[in-house]
Structure 1
Amino acid sequence: MNDLSAPLASAPIPRAPIAPSEARFIRLGSGGRWAKTGIDTGTLRFGAPHEPHDLCLKGDWEGARDTLLASGTAAREVGQLMRELRDVYTLGPDCLWITLAEGRLWWGFAEPEVVDLRMTEDGSMGVVARRIIGGWSCHSIFDDELLIPRLSSRVTQVRAYQRTICSLREIDAVCRAINGRADDAVEHTLAVEHALVDAVESLIKGLHETDFEILADLTLAALGWRRRSRLGGTLADADLFVEQPATGERAMVQVKSRAGQAVLDDYVARADAHACDRMFFLCHTPEGGLDAGSRGDVHVWSGRALAEKVVAAGLTPWLIAQVR
């Protein structure tokens, strides 16, 4: 067995979906105080000095239970602890283990051998350990980081569990996160949303120029921008000017049914002349690609990107009414 105190390289990213027969959550130490050591060394750590680990290492489960009862441990607590001990000592390498630490979900499968850490360590980081095969991973099989804020509460609710080890009720949800798959209902909704954006993109192209300017105004308003000029009309260089009340930023907005890169470049120069903080350039049918380059203050919404903004602004019913 390799030295379990030595740092382990990050786990390789598997490309095949996982399908574990069992799954457990483990809290690596009280309050997760062993998490960094466990993750760095690729180990699953467990145990306290007063527990009968010598008997567990021998597989003497009746003796372990009797020892706990004789020590004055309450029968209910003995039952819970024996369940955790059996999990650590007997679950095979096909059991998925997860822990939540450092703002991420970590997962892996453990080698069957249980190592007595008291032979090599002072016991401050657990009494026994199992090596996680290849080390703990915090990435999906597609290399997406499994950040806790991005995970479903069906996955992260296990944090509320007060003991050290528990079975995962939502094993399917956990496996979907690791396998980079959405719930069937979510996948259906995403497909419907994708089709909606396609339809909205087509509808926008059917708008009269005046209605397209109104749509631009409504979209920006829904996203927090307040119009500070009349819409269209006699403005020389812009269709409207807007302001962001939260930051005081001022932006110039130009709306074109069709435009190429030269037109965009011309209006970017005009926006600079007006000393605007930002510029929005909306075009439903671009002639070739429209590129603002490295200008982070220039926002080009065209084609599908424009349709996504309109959907996000909740303006699909308005759009339908105008085109119908």
Structure 2
Amino acid sequence: MRLGFMEANHQDCLNGKWDSVYRTFLQGKNKKTPSVATSFLNQIKKFYQSDEGVLWITFYGNEMWWCFSKPEITQLGDKSKIRPVIGKWHDTTIDEKTPLVTESLRGDLLKTQGFRGTICDVKIKEYVINKINGKEPEEVKATVEAMRELESRVATLITKLRWQDFETLIDLIFREAGYNRTSDVGKTQKTFDLDLISPVTGE
């Protein structure tokens, strides 16, 4: 993991001289306001002080990536700082079976992509951990179960439809799929029940 903030003195950060680091951002031609300097300081402290148990996430290529990191900070030639990842960055659940694509993530988590800075806290920690572990929230499980129950009951109701109503139902399903009906529905016709055509393929 790489951190910018080249102005921050690496040795001061290692020695915990945070007052000195804070004052750095209040000086020079690119000096910041006290609130911005405080924000920068808090981000740098998280980078330097977080232990191996901290879960790091980021977003790249329409996916969420996660890792753990060793607290061994090194300064590069351009004065940016790096700390090594334990193992590698992951873009799947912990069993490596399910990609963590942004389309499958909650909107309040994706909002963190709009954070104007480098490092911020994630408010919905439990959700992120469950997502990485491949565990669905209880409310999602309850909804899936309710949908299964609904499907089962609807299937029973369909078996009780008159044949005319059943043909009308099938007609509605195919029309939602893009087919156009070219025959009557719900009437007695020889050799076929329903005639449809797909405008796209001509089928």
Category of TM-score, reference length = shorter chain: 0.7 to 0.9
Q: Partner amino acid for 1:63?
A: S
Structure 1 position 68 matched with structure 2 position 25: yes
Of the three residues 45, 54, 57, the one matched with 1:95 is: 54
Instruction: Report matched runs for 1:71-90 at 5 Å.
Output: 71=28, 72-90=31-49
1:286-315 deviations in Å (ceiling 9; x for gaps)? xxxxxxxxxxxxxxxxxxxxxxxxxxxxxx
Of the three residues 204, 211, 233, the one matched with 2:188 is: 233
Quote the residue 1:217 is aligned against.
171
Quote the residue 1:155 is aligned against.
109
SS in 1 for 2:116: coil
Distance change in 2, residues 1:218/1:73 (3 Å): closer
Q: Partner amino acid for 1:65?
A: Y
Distance change in 2, residues 1:211/1:52 (3 Å): same
Counterpart contact for 1:108–1:135, Cα < 8 Å:
yes
Of the three residues 136, 140, 151, the one matched with 1:186 is: 140
Counterpart contact for 1:228–1:241, Cα < 8 Å:
yes
Distance 1:210 1:76 in 2: 71
Counterpart contact for 2:7–2:24, Cα < 8 Å:
no
Quote the residue 2:87 is aligned against.
134
Distance 1:229 1:138 in 2: 51
Of the three residues 171, 174, 180, the one matched with 2:125 is: 171
1:73-118 deviations in Å (ceiling 9; x for gaps)? 3222211111011000001111111111111100111112112223
SS in 2 for 1:167: coil
Quote the residue 1:113 is aligned against.
72
1:26-52 deviations in Å (ceiling 9; x for gaps)? xxxxxxxxxxxxxxxxxx110232222
Count of residue pairs the alignment pairs up:
199
Counterpart contact for 1:52–1:68, Cα < 8 Å:
no
Quote the residue 2:2 is aligned against.
45
SS in 2 for 1:165: coil
Q: Which runs of 4+ in 1 moved over 6 A?
A: none
Structure with a larger share of its residues in strand: 1
1:2-56 deviations in Å (ceiling 9; x for gaps)? xxxxxxxxxxxxxxxxxxxxxxxxxxxxxxxxxxxxxxxxxx1102322222311
Distance change in 2, residues 1:227/1:86 (3 Å): same
| TM-score relative to the length of structure 2 | 0.86
Alignment RMSD (CA, Å): 2.1
Q: Partner amino acid for 2:67?
A: G
Distance 1:106 1:185 in 2: 25
SS in 2 for 1:100: strand
Distance 1:136 1:103 in 2: 15
Identity %: 27
1:257-309 deviations in Å (ceiling 9; x for gaps)? xxxxxxxxxxxxxxxxxxxx2xxxxxxxxxxxxxxxxxxxxxxxxxxxxxxxx
Deviation at 1:182, TM superposition (A): 2.8
Distance 2:41 2:114 in 1: 21
Unaligned runs of 5+ in 1: 1-43, 251-276, 278-324
Distance 1:243 1:53 in 2: 70
Unaligned runs of 5+ in 2: none
Counterpart contact for 2:3–2:81, Cα < 8 Å:
yes
Distance 1:235 1:117 in 2: 82
Quote the residue 2:152 is aligned against.
198
Of the three residues 36, 55, 77, the one matched with 2:12 is: 55
